[in-house]
A and B are shown apart, each in its own frame.
Chain A
Amino acid sequence: MTEQPMVRFDNVSKRYGTLTVLDGLNLEIARGEKVSIIGPSGSGKTTVLRMLMTLETINDGVIWVEGEPLTHMERNGKLVPADLAHIRKIRAKIGMVFQSFNLFPHMTAMQNCIEAPITVLGMKRADAEARAAELLDMVGLSDKKDHYPSQLSGGQQQRVAIARACAMRPKIMLFDEVTSALDPELVGEVLEVIRKLGREHDLTMLMVTHQMGFAKEFSDRVCFFHAGKICEQGPPGELFGTPKNERTRQFLHAVLEAG
């Protein structure tokens, strides 16, 4: 038996009224694979992550996580919409880092990192704190654990957000344009943490990014989205080096031109 893909989008569509954001998406991501999603705005790339995180409903198709349907469950051989307990069980495998950080502003960095482990995983406070301290150390912020988000720079906030997501021990990490809201000089420190995370943890990563250099160097595969479909995908060397599709060429040309 071949290994189950970590995530499989099976003919998934998303529409807002008459606007089709994603049109019959088929995408498989293997365990441990790092996949970057690039494309012009409005191409549906962020929607892919948001659907996987169950922040958006889907109109058609099924998303499978380790062979189990995410927002459906099997009953009498048929797929029916899943109840909350099922969704929460599958959702526990997924973590997400947002463009706008979304840290809890009334909690310190440490409190941000222990909230979910204590209330969702039922960890003891001391254990959760020890684990959070390790993670804050990993993102280079052990000296900021008692700081509130408003006392941290954007890059620091985003690194806390990464530590917070890791504290739930997800198998899949989603990065939604995590450097787009940062001042240019702060982008590097966040990317460095993601690199480290990729090296040291056995995580499947799916990221939407505008950092072409990072996508090229970091990912195993790059998917170029256009108008709700995957227009072209392949290893970064191929996609960036010898793009086959005209749209991909145009997009890369425009983006690389802009620097």
Chain B
Amino acid sequence: MIWDWAFAFEILPVLARAAIVSIEATLIGFALAASLGLVLAVVRIAVPWTGWTISVLVELIRSTPLLIQIFFLYFVFPKFGVVLDAFTAGVLAIGIHYAAYCSEVYRAGFDNIPRGQWEASIALNLSAWTTFRDIIIPQAIPPIVPALGNYLVALFKETPLLSAIAVLELMQTAKIIGSETFRYTEPMTLVGLFFLAMSLVSAALIRSLEGLLNRRTMR
């Protein structure tokens, strides 16, 4: 028989521990992506002369593979005296990579705010900071939650790239189990199922968050 239930149950605890690492990487990476992306999008509007620099930066990040960026942070940065452990380097790379995508999502969100909202903010003499915090961002975010959610799921599914720099997340753990036991069927299947389950759960969570935000704003 190809599938060995006993073996599958035996490796389950090890994979579960590794899954926690994957989830951690996802959550920290996405928190970084969402906040850095927001900062990039806000700065691009608030400080117009940064527009060109940020566009180039975003384009550069989006147009190169994430794997190369991970390798860069982990293997090249030490040459410049910046030594990061594998988890930090990997999460940082994922966070920055997705920040570039997220910043474009925020930008689309900001572009959709009617000009009258900005003008009313000026007429009320609100500072740029207050305008973003109280007027623009609260209106811009709810419609882009689905897009951000998609990136959360996409980011999650890219965490196996961290196995390339030997972070002990799910994929790396499964590979190690495979190479030690010469059994790949169970670990790889379990890892795949885990990603499937988590992605479905996150998608459902995002949908309910979306519904909640819509109810709150569209009164």
What is the interface of chain A, defined by CB distance below 8 A to chain B?
53-55, 88, 91-92, 94-96, 98, 100-106, 115-116, 119-120, 148, 150-151, 164-165, 168
* B81 CB, min distance to chain A CBs, angstroms: 39
Q: A115-B134, A119-B127, A119-B130 are in contact. Are A105 and B217 (CB under 8 A)?
A: yes
Interface residue? B218 (CB, 8 A): yes
Interface residue? B124 (CB, 8 A): yes
Interface residue? B35 (CB, 8 A): no
Q: Which of chain A's residues has its CB closest to B128's CB?
A: A84
Residue pair A104, B135 in contact (C-beta under 8 Å): yes
Residue pair A55, B126 in contact (C-beta under 8 Å): no
Residue pair A168, B120 in contact (C-beta under 8 Å): no
Complex partner residue of B134 from A119, A164, A165, CB under 8 angstroms: A119
Residue pair B124, A55 in contact (C-beta under 8 Å): no
| Chief secondary structure at chain B's binding surface | helix
| Chief secondary structure at chain A's binding surface | loop
Q: A55-B122, A95-B123, A164-B124 are in contact. Are A150 and B219 (CB under 8 A)?
A: yes
Complex partner residue of A116 from B117, B125, B138, B218, CB under 8 angstroms: B125
A-B CB contact pairs (8 Å), 13 listed: A92-B125, A102-B116, A102-B119, A102-B120, A103-B120, A104-B135, A115-B134, A116-B124, A116-B125, A119-B130, A120-B125, A150-B219, A165-B124
Complex partner residue of B122 from A53, A101, A104, A168, CB under 8 angstroms: A53
Q: A115-B134, A150-B218 are in contact. Are A100 and B125 (CB under 8 A)?
A: no
Residue pair B119, A55 in contact (C-beta under 8 Å): yes
Residue pair B139, A120 in contact (C-beta under 8 Å): no
Q: Which of chain B's residues has its CB closest to A116's CB?
A: B124
Question: For the complex, what is the distance from the CA of A103 to the CA of B119, rounded to whole Å?
Answer: 10
Q: Which of chain A's residues has its CB closest to B130's CB?
A: A119
Residue pair B126, A120 in contact (C-beta under 8 Å): yes
Q: A102-B117, A105-B139, A106-B138 are in contact. Are A119 and B126 (CB under 8 A)?
A: yes
What are the interface flags for B102-133 relative to A under an 8 Å C-beta threshold, 1 for contact and 0 otherwise? 00000000000010110110111111001000
